[in-house]
Amino acid sequence: MSTCEKKKLYIKTYGCQMNVYDSGRMADILAPLGYQATEILGEADMVILNTCHIREKAEEKVFSDLGRVRDGQKEGALIAVAGCVAQANGEHIIKRAPYVDIVLGPQTYHRLPEMVAKAHRARDEKTGRGRGIVETDFPLESKFDSLPDTQSIQGTSAFLSVQEGCDKFCTFCVVPYTRGAEYSRPVASILEETKRLTDQGIIELTLLGQNVNAYHGEHLDGAGTASLAQLMEAIATHVPSIKRLRYITSHPKDMSDDLIRAHGDLDCLMPYLHLPVQSGSDRLLERMNRQHTAAHYLEILERLRKVRPDIALSSDFIVGFPGESDQDFEDTVALVKNVGYVQAYSFKYSIRPGTPAGLYEDQIPEAVKDTRLAHLQEVILEGQKAFNAACSGRTLPVLFDRMGKTPGQIVGKSPYLQSVHIQGPESLMGHIVNVHITHGYANSLEGVML
């Protein structure tokens, strides 16, 4: 088969933003082989499911979708399962779904062209369905050294992976097993990628990592290692066309003094921080191995507010972690009310194979988890509504990035990641414009251009 022959690639992405980034890079790697993106499953010559293992439901979704892919695929299409379910289950995926050609982990996707060639050869040898190719090791070389320089990107906002993996081992979480040990990319390579993105019109950049504030990559000119704050300073200095900088996801333990200070010093760093706390109960935080107390977390927020009084906060919560008492749950609700999050994600604890908490004997009944989740989500939504309502009357800079659903409407993002709707010309697209907010709804804001 000629390498420049046009072929179609269908990618479905599950899970976190890092998977979104990875899916983009997989498309970049396959582009030189002639693969172009399609959103129609039935016309794809290759299908990639980029999967998430974080909760049981996410995993089950993959297997039900795989059945749908098998039934709806174009005759002879290659099927690949990538991401964290692939890493966790390896060849068991092929056992359960024998029509899968390729299983690849998050650290091996730079080898995709090789795997595609192998999968074709395996098919030719056996005629029809090939034997599955499984590549889920953690290679010594970093995939970041072998990713192509060409990056296809649209719009004005982009994600960039700067750190990957996790050494924290929270007792509920699979990420340290699926993504491996912490790794930070060198500052120079991040700056190069940032410049390439700005050449394509990107002005808002979100730095990604499973523990992005544990970042400690090689600094420029052999100046030792850089912290996340130093990396962001380097971006602000060397790539001034980045107007908005964000980072996600952080661990409270790694909120260092210089990072807190950066929130006061760096103009391009947005006044919004997602800092997951998971629970408001010290007893549970200890059993979760989060390595901090609720008081320590609150103290970090206080210091952040001192340097950046308008900082808005968001978090993740788990309800129904093994042994969670009514009091533990009340402690979480109290913490949510105390902090006043502008937004937050909450999940029912899900037993994950191979994690310590999966073996704890005091698991919480599903019905209790349901009640607690509903209650917590109500409290979170109240906070979100109150924050949005309080934005009414304020003037906020809005980055416009999409057309609205009604004629003449254009939609953008506030510094706090709220969607802002106004009536305005399409020419605003890609620009940051001051907007006077006239209404704060539960999930969005409305305003007029100044």
Q: Which residue has the tokens 């007029």?
A: 448
**Of 16 and 411, CB closest to ligand F3S:** 16
**Interface with ligand F3S (CB under 6 A):** 15-16, 18-19, 52-54, 83-84, 174-175, 178-179, 210
- ∠ CA 109-246-49, nearest 5°, is 25
Distance from chain centroid for Cα 401:
19
Residue 350 contact partner, candidates ligand F3S, ligand SAH, ligand SF4, none, CB within 5 to 8 A by sort of partner: ligand SAH
**Of 363 and 409, CB closest to ligand SAH:** 363
- Residue whose CB is nearest to ligand SAH in the complex, by number: 316
SS3 state of residue 49: strand
> Per rule CB under 6 A, is residue 347 in the interface with ligand SAH?
yes
* Cα 382 to Cα 400: distance, rounded to the nearest angstrom: 27
CB 46 within 8 Å of CB 78: yes
* Cα 214 to Cα 169: distance, rounded to the nearest angstrom: 14
Residue 169 contact partner, candidates ligand F3S, ligand SAH, ligand SF4, none, CB within 5 to 8 A by sort of partner: ligand SF4
Among 318, 333, 335, 445, binds ligand SAH (CB under 6 A): 318
Residue 92 CB, shortest distance to ligand F3S, in Å, is 16
> What is the β-pairing status of strands 102-104 and 78-82?
parallel
Q: If you compute the radius of gyration of the chain from its CA atoms, what whole number of angstroms results?
A: 23
Dihedral (Cα; 71, 74, 80, 84), 10-degree rounding: -50
**Of 84 and 300, CB closest to ligand F3S:** 84
Q: How many residues bind ligand SAH (CB under 6 A)?
A: 17
CB 104 within 8 Å of CB 82: yes
> Per rule CB under 6 A, is residue 251 in the interface with ligand SAH?
yes
Residue 82 contact partner, candidates ligand SF4, ligand SAH, ligand F3S, none, CB within 5 to 8 A by sort of partner: none
**Interface with ligand SF4 (CB under 6 A):** 166, 168-170, 173, 175-176, 210-211, 251
**Of 175 and 269, CB closest to ligand F3S:** 175
**Of 262 and 318, CB closest to ligand SAH:** 318
| Token pair of 291 as six digits | 């390595």
| Token pair of 105 as six digits | 């982990």
Put the strands of the sheet holding 46-51 in their side by side order: 35-37, 7-13, 46-51, 78-82, 102-104, 133-135
Binding site for ligand SAH (CB under 6 A): 54-55, 172-173, 175, 210-211, 249, 251, 276, 278, 316, 318, 347, 349-350, 352
